[in-house]
Amino acid sequence: MQPLIALVDCNSFYVSCECVFRPDLWEKPVGVLSNNDGCFVARNKALKSLGVKMGVPLFQVADLVKKHDVQLFSSNYPLYADMSSRVMSLLETFSPRTEIYSIDEAFLDVTGICQPDSIGYGLSIKHSIQKNTGIPVCVGLGPTKTLAKLANFAAKKWPQTGGVLDLSDPVRRDKLMRLVPAGEVWGIGSRTAAKLNQIGINTVWDLAIQPVEPIQKQFNIVVARTLMELNGIPCLKLEEIAPDKQQIVCSRSFSRRLTEFSEVSEALAEYCSRAAEKLRYQHSVTGCITIFIRTSPFNPKEPQYQRAASIKLASATQDTRAIIATASRMLKEIFKAGYGYQKCGVQLSHIQPESSPGQLELFEFADTGLPAENRPLMKAVDQINRRFPKAISVAATGFDKTWKAKAERISPRYTTDWRELVGVKCG
């Protein structure tokens, strides 16, 4: 039996999450801004049709935003994460094999489940997600992941598909491929697309009819695989279990330039806490901590400085206090007064499962001055913070926090905080 993969992708996911609780915005142009309220990271259809592109800085389109009364939101990640887990848990009821590909899309292996009426099955997925969560989705189907992606792209672009499209049929596939530029194919980046255009490959169809070997020689194995996948030959497997992250990075821009060591140190400590939480969430320990600080590269008039530091730990840890202590020791080394810092961050690497036996450090206190690893304590902190967000933090993260990134237009955490539930009118 021919394999059949479905890609389910939420439409304008962040905006859709906001709109579930705001019927007054259903017909309006709505956008969600990146961290620090800088650039557009999500736009609904009405906003796209005004010509606002992905990643555009807000200040560049300020007039248009005012003129068309565009509704803006700061990123509300607690809300998006909760809505995503609702969507994903529903999708798992439609196939025993699913791969959560990102916060708003998943591949489902539906081989043998929905043939011959694949469109009917796709529609029932679409209907179920919309009805149960309020999030609209499109469903693309095909014998390979790349074709499922392409089908999804087309289902989103052409409303006459009804939001569901199956590209199993080679005739229909050919027709569509002639209409879509090669750069829209999953796995073909903009640079590869430009190179393809130079040798006369413009549409997906132009690419699909190429012989594999010369393409692999001229480009690489990734492009060659993509080409095979476009012809219905599966090369990419469904990855059901997300591999644990091998690196955890936590970095943000500040709301304003920071000049004091104490402020930068507090910000860094907070990012360390977040990174340590993520580390414990995936039951891992880190063996290497890297930090960096920098001034703004966008202001050439200011004096520029950037520096990173890295240290390999004698024994791997997941303890927030140990990570903060190590990071702030490095910060003392690289911090220079007299600069206006715009960003700092921490990266944890050499990550291993917490159950793997690490090297025992015999003289922990004498050697490093760090507190001994206390897993039960960290577990208790995580549990409390899950119930009462931000209830417990390490004192080094400070109290002032005016350096925090701007999130002036943030919506309530409708689904994760009892104090912020959506109000419903009895009137």
Exposure string over 172-186, b if 16+ CB within 10 A, otherwise e: ebeebbeebebbebb
- State yes or no: residue 246 binds another protein (CB under 8 A): no
- Residue placing its CB nearer to another protein in the complex, 117 or 420: 420
- Residue placing its CB nearer to another protein in the complex, 18 or 229: 18
- State yes or no: residue 376 binds another protein (CB under 8 A): no
Part of the chain binding another protein (CB under 8 A), chosen from 70-78, 126-134, 233-241, 247-255: 126-134
- Residue placing its CB nearer to another protein in the complex, 126 or 343: 126
- Residue placing its CB nearer to another protein in the complex, 27 or 213: 27
User: What single letter denotes the amino acid at residue 242?
Assistant: A
Block residue for tokens 């140190």: 265
- State yes or no: residue 84 binds another protein (CB under 8 A): no
Q: Using the rule CB under 8 A, which residue among 63, 116, 131, 355 binds another protein? A: 131
Q: In angstroms, rounded to a whole number, what is the distance separating the alpha carbons of residues 8 and 19?
A: 20
Q: Using the rule CB under 8 A, which residue among 26, 158, 365, 388 binds another protein? A: 26
Q: Using the rule CB under 8 A, which residue among 2, 102, 132, 383 binds another protein? A: 132
Q: Using the rule CB under 8 A, which residue among 134, 187, 340, 371 binds another protein? A: 134
**C-alpha torsion sign, points 45, 51, 54, 58:** negative
User: Contacts with another protein: how many residues (CB under 8 A)?
Assistant: 22
Q: In angstroms, rounded to a whole number, what is the distance separating the alpha carbons of residues 243 and 241?
A: 6
Part of the chain binding another protein (CB under 8 A), chosen from 131-139, 230-238, 312-320, 325-333: 131-139
Task: List beta partners, residue 5.
Answer: 109, 142
- State yes or no: residue 391 binds another protein (CB under 8 A): no
Interface with another protein in residues 396-425 (CB under 8 A): 414-415, 418, 421-425
Helix or strand holding residue 258 (H, E): strand 248-258
Part of the chain binding another protein (CB under 8 A), chosen from 44-52, 86-94, 184-192, 365-373: 86-94
Say if strands 137-142 and 164-166 run parallel, antiparallel, or are unpaired: parallel
- Residue placing its CB nearer to another protein in the complex, 135 or 167: 135
CB of 137 to another protein, least distance (A): 14
CB of 286 to another protein, least distance (A): 30
Q: In angstroms, rounded to a whole number, what is the distance separating the alpha carbons of residues 179 and 167?
A: 14
Q: Which residues lie below 8 Å from residue 298, measured CB to CB, with a gap of 6+?
A: none
134 burial via Cβ count (<10 Å: 0-12, 13-18, 19+): middle
- State yes or no: residue 21 binds another protein (CB under 8 A): yes
Could you tell me if 295 and 304 are in contact, meaning their C-beta atoms sit under 8 angstroms apart? yes
Phi, psi (5° rounding) for residue 359?
A: -75, 135
Q: In angstroms, rounded to a whole number, what is the distance separating the alpha carbons of residues 56 and 33?
A: 10
Q: In angstroms, rounded to a whole number, what is the distance separating the alpha carbons of residues 121 and 10?
A: 17
Q: In angstroms, rounded to a whole number, what is the distance separating the alpha carbons of residues 265 and 332?
A: 9
Find the distance separating the first CA and the last CA of the chain, reported in whole Å. Answer: 57
Part of the chain binding another protein (CB under 8 A), chosen from 85-93, 265-273, 280-288, 391-399: 85-93
- Residue placing its CB nearer to another protein in the complex, 86 or 409: 86
- State yes or no: residue 125 binds another protein (CB under 8 A): no
- Residue placing its CB nearer to another protein in the complex, 86 or 257: 86
DSSP string across 59-112: GGGHHHHHHTT-EEEE--HHHHHHHHHHHHHHHTTT-S-EEEEETTEEEEE-TT
- Residue placing its CB nearer to another protein in the complex, 24 or 69: 24
Interface with another protein in residues 94-113 (CB under 8 A): none
Q: Where along the sequence are the contacts to another protein (CB under 8 A)?
A: 21, 23-24, 26, 86-87, 89-90, 131-134, 414-415, 418, 421-427
